[in-house]
Amino acid sequence: MLGIMFCIVITIFILTQFYALIKIIKTNTMNQKGYGIDLLQIIISIAIAIYSDSMGRLSIVDALLVTVPLIIWFKIIFGFIYINKRVIKENKKLFFVTIIISIVAIPVLRSI
């Protein structure tokens, strides 16, 4: 049951990334509303997932669990995450929360 819910979350995540990609193509602006880095996110997530799956070291789900927090950090560092159309200024708190979540989430999900 938990695995099915996780697959649904990953699917929604991928669909939102493709929506962001369509927005980028339509508007031809890379940084409008912070969508620009999402293009990079799609490419990196898919590339790392495919590479790690072919190497047999991680499953695709594990690779996405590792990749997504890394790109969230990248967005936070460069101030590209928008909440209510405002750039988050308190980057340090989000940075540490993301690190903790990513460190805790992978072993927990692997144990299930």
- Is pTM beyond 0.85? Reply is no
Q: Which pLDDT does position 87 carry in this prediction?
A: 43
Average pLDDT, the chain: 58
Token digits of residue 8: 């649904």
| Identity of residue 104 | V
- Is residue 62 within 8 A of residue 110, CB to CB? The reply is yes
pLDDT beyond 60 at 4 = yes
Q: What is the pLDDT of residues 55-105, one digit of tens each?
A: 666 566 666 666 666 666 555 555 454 443 444 444 555 556 655 665 665
Q: Which pLDDT does position 38 carry in this prediction?
A: 55
| Identity of residue 68 | V
Percent of the chain with pLDDT over 70: 0
User: Number of folded domains in the chain?
Assistant: 1
**Beta bridge partner(s), residue 83:** 86
